[in-house]
Amino acid sequence: MASHRRPKQPSRTRVTVFSTAAAAAVVLSANAANAAPSEKPNKDEVKSKVDKLYEEAEQATEKLDGAKEKQQKLQKEINSLQDNVARGQDELNQLREGLGSMASAQYRTGGIDPSVALFLSSNPDDFLDKASAMDQLSAHQVEMLKKVQAKQRSLAQQRAEASSKLKDLADTRADLAKKKQEVQSKLGSAQKLLNSLTAQEKAALVSQDQERATRASKRVDLGTGTGKAASGRAAAAFAAAESVIGAPYVYTHAGPSSFDCSGLTSWAYAQADVTIPRTSQAQANAGTRIYSQSDLKIGDLVIFYGDQHHVGLYAGDGRVLHAPHSGAFVRFESMANMPFQFGVRI
């Protein structure tokens, strides 16, 4: 006789597992169908992205240069304050020794007044504030005590100032580390993009960059009418910059064998015995601004980009002599390749 048992139903757990697996398979299939194939960026796309990263790295570099300059300035001020405090403490000790000698002499002669003991107090203000006791002191004693009082106040103020600057220095060092990491991150991203190119594509990019620079590479003869410099110091600065054409761009460097943009200009003017600020933004305010390119002369600073993060030296004929960016070298270039803001005559 045939069996009339009902077929065994699949368990709820098995149904759930199968349903979940089926749903996942549908989702994966849909994603696979909709996903665009991963495409390697072409040479022009890489160049555009790398140029943008280099620009961002230079913006960060100028901020890094400013933080380094602030750190150096703070350290000098702190050292000076600490030296002053040390000398002041020696002077205060000598004044106190003088008061002690005076008290000892009065004691030996039997003429010491009880109030003289307060000469050696670490807080002579308490004594001087008691006007009723002033007639118990000689004019010389009063003068000595006032000197101690003034020296103590001066030392307290200098110690407080040094303490404040030390805190500012610690904050500046933290900011410095952050900005350095930002520059390195931008440069690392740019290098990663460049590494995605073939050797032939890399060579093409280098050739393209060199070709652009070559078109503007005519050297300036400062002895001719067309090579008229803004001043003798501008001529000397420009000649110094010309002497390092081919030196590599290295962020935060200011010569003599490698430079970033403001490092080159500040170094060049230093060779002419002229001190200008370290960063491009500060150099933008270092002299007389010139807004018309037709009024520029050899050796004038030329400022680029709205945030003023790039600077070079005017080289005549609409060209700039500058340290362009990481991976490049000090060279001439057409000013038309960057958004000119204004010139600065030092």
Catalytic positions, please?
A: 261, 310, 322
Handedness of CA 331, 332, 333, 338 (dihedral sign): positive
Residue (of 276, 239, 236, 235) closest to 254 by Cα position: 276
**Greatest extent of the chain over all pairs of C-alpha atoms, in Å:** 142
Helix/strand/coil (H/E/C) assignment for every residue in 246-290: CCEECCCCECCCCECHHHHHHHHHHHCCCCCCCCHHHHCCCCEEE
Q: Residue 218 corresponds to which tokens in the numbers above?
A: 């005519």
The dihedral sign for the CA sequence 170, 175, 181, 183: negative
Count the residues in the chain: 346
Do 289 and 342 contact (CB within 8 A), yes or no? yes
Distance CA 333, CA 215 (A): 8
C-alpha distances in Å from residue 158, one per residue of 88, 155, 166, 184, 238? 10, 5, 12, 38, 43
Q: CA-CA distance, 205 to 243, in Å (whole number)?
A: 26
